[in-house]
């Protein structure tokens, strides 16, 4: 079993839809949770960074962490064609520099 599991998609939605992207993990030592967005042929860019359980909102994006279920989510409201990209979840343990990534979910938002 991989440490971080993420459905590769693709996930296709119409413009304006609410998108839900998810990751599950097996290592209970993970305490820092991140979502990166990666456009085709570009490097990943950080979207959201959360510590431990709870919700964090930034504009149209909401990150949710449920440590009891080892489950994290990213919600995108009012999705736009420009949101079409691959979304990678990443996790880290306290005091460690290593990030463990999911394989990424490809999102396609059609106009």
Q: Which residues bind another protein (CB under 8 A)?
A: 32, 36, 41-46, 49, 88, 92-104
In the bound state with another protein, the residue whose beta carbon lies nearer, of 35 and 79, is 35
In the bound state with another protein, the residue whose beta carbon lies nearer, of 19 and 44, is 44
First to last CA, the chain: 37
75-93: buried (b, 16+ CB within 10 Å) or exposed (e) per residue? bbeebeeebbbbbbbbbbe
* Residue 78 CB, nearest approach to another protein (Å): 25
Hey, what are 98's tokens? 């290593």
In the bound state with another protein, the residue whose beta carbon lies nearer, of 68 and 97, is 97
């Amino acid at each position: 079993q991989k440490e971080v599991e993420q459905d590769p998609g693709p996930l296709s939605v119409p413009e304006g839809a609410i998108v839900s992207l998810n990751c599950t993990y097996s290592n209970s030592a993970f305490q820092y949770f991140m979502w990166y967005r990666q456009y085709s042929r570009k490097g990943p860019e950080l979207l959201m960074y959360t510590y431990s359980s709870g919700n964090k909102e930034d504009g149209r994006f909401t990150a949710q962490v449920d440590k009891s279920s080892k489950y994290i989510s990213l919600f995108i409201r009012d999705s736009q064609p420009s949101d079409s990209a691959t979304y990678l979840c990443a996790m880290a343990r306290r005091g460690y520099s290593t990030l463990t990534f999911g394989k990424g979910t490809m999102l396609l938002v059609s106009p």
